[in-house]
Amino acid sequence: MAPDRGPPSSSHSNNTKNTYLVYAAAALLRLFLFGAFPGAGALLEGRVEVGSCVCGFKARTGKAKTTSTPQAPLLLALFSLIPTPHFHLITALLYITLDLLAAHALVRIAESHQAERTRLFKSPRTGEGWDSWIIPAAYLFNPFIIATCIGRPTSVFTSLAILWSVAHAVGDKPMSAMVGLGVATYLSMYPALLVGPMVLLGYDRQEEEKARIGASGKRGDEAEAAEGNEKEASSSIWLFAAKHTAVFTAGLAWLLYISYILTGGSWEFISSTYGVQLLVPDLTPNVGLWWYFFIEMFDSFREFFLGVFWLHLGGYVGGLCIRLRKQPLFVVVTMMGIFAIFKPYPTIGDTGLWLSMLPLYRHVFGLMRYTFFAVSALLYACLLGPAFYHLWVYAGSGNANFFYAITLVWSLGLVLILADSLFAVLRDEWEVERPEMRGKEIRQI
């Protein structure tokens, strides 16, 4: 088992310096793109890959307007405060700031080392991960994230809320984490599925801190205290879960109540904001799997398959939390990948967020088996997707099958990465139990 890496202060100082250099370079790159290509934002706003019907907006007369479907009322109120003459400049600076804040949250997650060692698990490859400054670089210079920043969909706010929620959870601030998750759920309904793994992550970090504080005190009663803690663990986790789920619910309810007041005492925004995501009435093409299926669906079967699709999306949480109980952070990362593939209205921003979190698990990249095929499929889809969409919508020389076929290739590439990363993490866990098998090939018989 590899020893823990204990970087000296000079190494930490270099990481900090490199991190700020990454921030500066990323901010300058975005400023250059906004300034040198002022029409790029308007172009990307209309791309189905960048903004969906539930998160895209277009600037019209200096105000943010949703593209055919409503947004969370507080977001609309925020954009309505932006002065018309300076709308482009202010929104550009706003989205650059959001990206930098998201990257900083990733730094905090990386520096917690929860990807390599947790309260219940320590990877035999501990110390093989990348330096912390590489993680925000992978996010800020991800072409999907850059395109999302220029296109300015409101999904960036949801991504930021999720990342800061995770950063607070690994920082032993579970209450703040649940409030942040409530904000993310208010902005986009699907983060509610992260409550379970976030509770486990917050609980494990709290117990780690308790053990660390206890270890720094008197050691005379250490054995008795450990035995007592083990007996209380099973009951305390349920109390912890109940308390923090209540905090999540209260935070979400408070945001909904503020929206109720903001909309003049009407609850209609709930159906227009969350009903669109839940019932999928808008079948505008996107990079997901739902739209074409429900276009071809007979109306008499629509409600049944809506339930099936949502059950499929939500059904992963329980199994992942049970099987990967020792690594709740990876459950969150895996769920982000599932959202990017299987939610009703995904965008490349969702994919970019998930792919930017995977470098946290650099130490298991060597165990992944299908990286070449997955990357090839994604590159193939990235090159042909816009071309097939143009042939269908603008040139009129194609049909919906062109674009849907390439979205299937896109989803196939993402599924390969998702399954391969899950295999790598499970293999890493297995080698803790069977250290003699490290480096050896295994086959299922």
Determine, yes or no, domain membership for 233.
no
Most confident segment among 43-52, 141-150, 432-441: 141-150
Point out which residues pair with 57 in neighbouring strands.
Answer: 66
* 319-362 per-position pLDDT tens digit: 999 999 999 999 999 999 999 999 999 999 999 999 999 999 99
Confidence at residue 313, expressed as pLDDT on a 0 to 100 scale = 92
Least confident residue range of 43-52, 377-386, 415-424:
43-52
Domain count, the chain: 1
- More confident call, 38 vs 373: 373
Confidence at residue 101, expressed as pLDDT on a 0 to 100 scale = 96
- More confident call, 183 vs 58: 183
Query: 26 is in which domain, residue-wise?
Result: 22-214+242-435
Residues 6+ apart with CB under 8 A from 61: 84
* 286-325 per-position pLDDT tens digit: 999 999 999 988 888 999 999 999 999 999 999 999 999 9
Determine, yes or no, domain membership for 1.
no
Confidence at residue 223, expressed as pLDDT on a 0 to 100 scale = 42
Determine, yes or no, domain membership for 120.
yes
Torsion-angle region of residue 156: left (phi > 0), alpha (psi -120 to 50) or beta?
alpha
Residues 6+ apart with CB under 8 A from 146: 29, 30, 33, 140
Determine, yes or no, domain membership for 97.
yes
Determine, yes or no, domain membership for 134.
yes
Confidence at residue 220, expressed as pLDDT on a 0 to 100 scale = 44
Determine, yes or no, domain membership for 47.
yes
Confidence at residue 82, expressed as pLDDT on a 0 to 100 scale = 87
State how far the Cα of 364 lies from the Cα of 405, in Å rounded to an integer: 32
234: phi then psi, degrees, rounded to nearest 5:
-65, -35
* 90-130 per-position pLDDT tens digit: 999 999 999 999 999 999 999 999 999 999 898 888 888 88
Cβ–Cβ under 8 Å, residues 414 and 337: yes
For the chain, give the mean pLDDT. 86
* 207-241 per-position pLDDT tens digit: 888 877 766 655 445 444 444 454 455 558 899 99
State how far the Cα of 418 lies from the Cα of 421, in Å rounded to an integer: 5
153 pLDDT more than 60: yes
Determine, yes or no, domain membership for 227.
no
Determine, yes or no, domain membership for 9.
no
